[in-house]
Structures are given as structure tokens and as C-alpha cells.
Structure 1
Amino acid sequence: MTPDPATDNPACLYPELGRNETLQSILQTAVRQAGYGLDVLPERAPGWWRCGARADGDSRTTTALLGIAERAFIVNFREHGVMMAEGTTTSLDAVVSAIGAWQSGATLARLKSACPFVDHSPLAETHERGDAVEAQWTSYRHTSARHVDRELIEAAYAQPQLRALFPFHSHRTLNFSRCTGFPYTHDIPVITPANGSYRVTWWHTRSPHGPADIGEADTPDDAVALVIALLPHNCGPAVAGTADDLDNSDST
């Protein structure tokens, strides 16, 4: 049976919680005492009401969770829908410093310098620099992963309209997003290699655009041509952010 994170944490691991405190309440007090004017909110998942918390900003979020088997504050740092860094520490003060630094706009390098328990990946650095799209394409063009069809990748990359979008794979299906953060957009046809041919469909089983099936192509170039013919109007380069951000931008 999976432990209930809300009730099974040994009290001796987190004396800060006392009998009735939550991670959200102790972090809220601690960040204010540290001089950060931040609001700390409960974690959204109901089962984590006592041992999860988050601090939200315009584009950044820091989440913290309590470990179950041993004392550990597990902290994640996101920006524009991208996991930028993460770390685990036993120190509540270190968590407060990390929340304050990230939510105040620290770069990845500054965050790591101030909070050594935090690590980030080279991919996160590409998002910070603003060249995540090209980095993602480069990764796919050089991968040896069996689920990636290299000929299809090259055919898509050869087309400037698709090369400007953010590519990602779902199983063996090649997808294109108008944003670089999750959730991605799903208003562009996707391509799935299948038995020597290429199936082009909308992402959902049925979509506002019509039936899911668009067509089947014998070559990667022909499959890519089908996608380009159905790109959304004014489909420009992928931007930092999420599909929700784009939806909100379109409605204003």
C-alpha cells in the first residue's frame, strides 16, 4: 500500500510542523521573516495539503514537498512551464533562501551559487538563453534513440516553418508546439511513422478542425508537406511560455 503523504510522515522528521502546522504555513512565516514579500500557497493536490507548498510569480514557480522515508525538502524550480532546476536539502533555511532567490529573478548560476543543493541541466540553460528550440532540434538530430525517426526529423528540420517550432515526441509521434513550455500547444498536425509509411493526424481523436485522420504519406517529405499545408494562421516561431499563456494572450 502506498503511504499517505498527508498522514504518514514521522513527526520526528519535521519538528517544525508541530501538531497542526503545514509546510505552507511554516514557509510563509519563514520567507516573511527573511524579508521576502512572497505569498506561499498550499500544494494544489488535496492529498498533499500538509506537506506541499508553492510560491507563484508571473512566470516562475517554486514548489516544495516533504520526503516520507527521511527528512528531506524536495524543491523544484519552474519558469515559463519548464522545469529549470531541482534539489533536495534537509535545511528549512536553505529552502527559504532558494525560494527567495528564484522568485526574485535569480539566474540559474546565481541560484546555484546561493543554494549549492540545487542542480540544473544544460537544457535548462538553453531555455534561459532563449535558444531552446534549436537545442531541442539538435538533440533529436543527433540522438540514437530508437523511437526517433531521423529521416523524419531531417525532413521537418529542412522546412523553416517547422524548424521555428518546438519539436517533442510522444512515444513515436513527432509533435510541433508554438511554445517551449508545458503544456504544449496541440493545434498543429502530428506525424507518426507506421509500417514504412507516415500517418498524419490531429493530436486528439477528434478535434475542432475535423476528423483526426488527415492522411498517409509514403515519405517523410510528403508527410511534412501535409503538416505545413495545415499550419495555423500566423504560425510564427515558438515562444517562451505555455499553451495557456498563448490562449490568454489571444483572448486579450
Structure 2
Amino acid sequence: MTSNSADPSRRVPSPTEPDPYPDLTSAGSLAAALESVAAGLGLGWDPVLVSESDPLRSAGVASEVVDRETCWITLGSAERQFILSGWCRGVRLISGSTPDLGDMALALEGWRKGATLREIHEAAPFVTVTELARAHERGPAAAVAVGWRLLLEGLRQKEDLFSYARSTLRIAEAAYAEPKLRRLYPFTSHRSLHFTTCVGIPYSRDVPHVDPLSDGRYRVHAPSRRAVIGDADTPEAAVALVVSGLPVGCGPAVAGASGDR
């Protein structure tokens, strides 16, 4: 099976350097080493998947849970590290790295069997689970609420340092005050404020977005960015332009990525 994730290649040590992965060398591949460790822990796995682009140094464990993607393992280049990312419907729910292949196997087992994010972290403490990931686990409405709070908090922390943060914060606060936008998932890109009708990546591109201008005004772009809906002198006026360009039936943001619908 071929992975669509980043190539899990690593730097090959020179003959004078110790091999940071002797267990992989003796087993013949990362997948074989991982299968051996899993068997030693009594885990009843199907054969570990490998990437056709790098079969010796790639490994992936498929999940039994609908929507949880195969969790692929990559290798650290500077030192011994096994690195994982667990994605579900366009959202990275877990990440982390460990030099211990046994700890990695425990994390993969939780992901494979549908354990909660908290349970996976408790079984394998190296796994990072963010507040936003926990919100996604609860559902899209929770993800939207936490996403808005984190966005506003981040901009407020930067407003005294960067002028762009102040202008983006003003439009974000005005957008949050508008119920039709507050139920969409917000994100920034190149200082622009965007809204998406889904909470997974890739985000939807069906809602207008706002660019703060250097003169203190705001420019509202159509979703395609090929057309300008209009310029506004105040954040509230810019929000009104965004609302005027919402697609018909634009409701609360839903789970998944734009291609899922």
C-alpha cells in the first residue's frame, strides 16, 4: 500500500557513526521490527503496511474505526525517533515522537482500536493531544467554539507587537459578534480572515474572506478571490459584506473536509 503522507526517509549514517536503528537493521525493515514488537506485547495486528516509495523505512497501521486514517510512522533524521501523526476526516488528532518502538506500538494500538484521545495519551504519554483536537473529538460545534477562542486569544497576545494583528483582531471580533459567522470555523492565512463551512482540511472555499488594508480599511473578497465584493471603512461594515455573500443555506460548520461533501 502506498502512503500519501510525507516520504519517511532519513539520513543514512556514515560508516563511522553508530546506527540509531539497529533493531530495524536486524529485522530488515521498520514494518518487520514493528510487527515483532507488537507480537511481543500480545497485540493481534494485521500485517503492518509499507509505502512503495520506501518499503524498508516506512510503516503504517490501519484503524478499525471508520474515518480514522492509517497512521504512518516516519523516522527521525538527526537522532533515533519514531514519529507519528493520526488524522481523522481532515484533522490531525494526535502527534508525537519517541525513541521506543514499544511505546509507539501502544499508541498505534489505541488508534487502531478506537480508544479515545485521552486513553491513547494515558497509554503512550509521548503522544500530544491538543485542546483543539479534544474539541474535534467532541464534534464540529465544539471545534468551532474552541477554534474561535484560540484565534482571538492568539491575536490579542500579538496586538501590541504587530499592527497586522491589531487590524485582524478588530475584524475577527466583529465577525465573532455576528451569529451567522460565529457558527463557521475561522482561520487566518497571510493576514486574511477566512471562514469555512467544514472543520477538516482542506477547508471549504465557499465563503467570502477579509483582507485588512494598510490604510485601516478592509477589503472583502469573493470566495474565489477573483472578485472583490467591496471595501469597508469599519470592521462591522466588512462583516456585513461577508454576510451578504454567504452561500444559500449556509449553516453551522460540519465535520470533515470540503471534499467529503
Matched, 1:145 2:158: yes
CA contact (8 A) 2:11 2:78 kept: no
Change (3 A) 1:109 1:38: farther
Alpha-carbon distance, 1:19 to partner: 7.7
How does 1:112-191 map onto structure 2 within 5 Å? Answer: 112-130=121-139, 131-142=142-153, 143-146=156-159, 147-148=164-165, 149-191=168-210
Q: State the one-letter code of the partner of 2:211.
A: T
- Encode CA deviations 1:115-162: one digit per residue, 9 max, x unaligned: 122122222222222311011112233332244422211221122111
- Between the aligned partners of 1:161 and 1:39, the Cα distance in structure 2 is 46
Alpha-carbon distance, 1:93 to partner: 2.2
Alpha-carbon distance, 1:41 to partner: 4.1
Match of 2:111 in 1: 102
CA contact (8 A) 1:6 1:50 kept: no
- Encode CA deviations 1:18-52: one digit per residue, 9 max, x unaligned: 38944345446665772034762428xx4x55433
- Between the aligned partners of 1:38 and 1:156, the Cα distance in structure 2 is 49
Match of 1:250 in 2: none
Say which SS state the counterpart of residue 60 (structure 1) adopts.
Answer: coil
Say which SS state the counterpart of residue 40 (structure 1) adopts.
Answer: coil
Alpha-carbon distance, 1:70 to partner: 1.7
**Structure 2: gaps of 5 or more residues:** 1-7
- Between the aligned partners of 1:93 and 1:106, the Cα distance in structure 2 is 17
Q: Bigger CA drift: 163-172 or 10-19?
A: 10-19
Alpha-carbon distance, 1:56 to partner: 4.5
Q: Percent identity?
A: 38
Q: Bigger CA drift: 164-173 or 127-136?
A: 127-136
Q: How many residues align?
A: 235
Q: Which has the higher strand share?
A: 1
Alpha-carbon distance, 1:213 to partner: 2.2
- Between the aligned partners of 1:141 and 1:176, the Cα distance in structure 2 is 14
Q: State the one-letter code of the partner of 1:140.
A: L
Q: State the one-letter code of the partner of 2:251.
A: G
Q: Bigger CA drift: 190-199 or 120-129?
A: 120-129
Match of 2:218 in 1: 198
CA contact (8 A) 1:28 1:40 kept: no
From 53, 61, 74, the counterpart of 1:55 = 61
Matched, 1:35 2:44: yes
**What is the TM-score when the length of structure 2 is the normalising length?**
0.78
Match of 1:5 in 2: 9
Change (3 A) 1:162 1:122: same
- Between the aligned partners of 2:229 and 2:34, the Cα distance in structure 1 is 51
The RMSD of aligned alpha carbons is 2.7
**What is the TM-score when the length of structure 1 is the normalising length?**
0.81
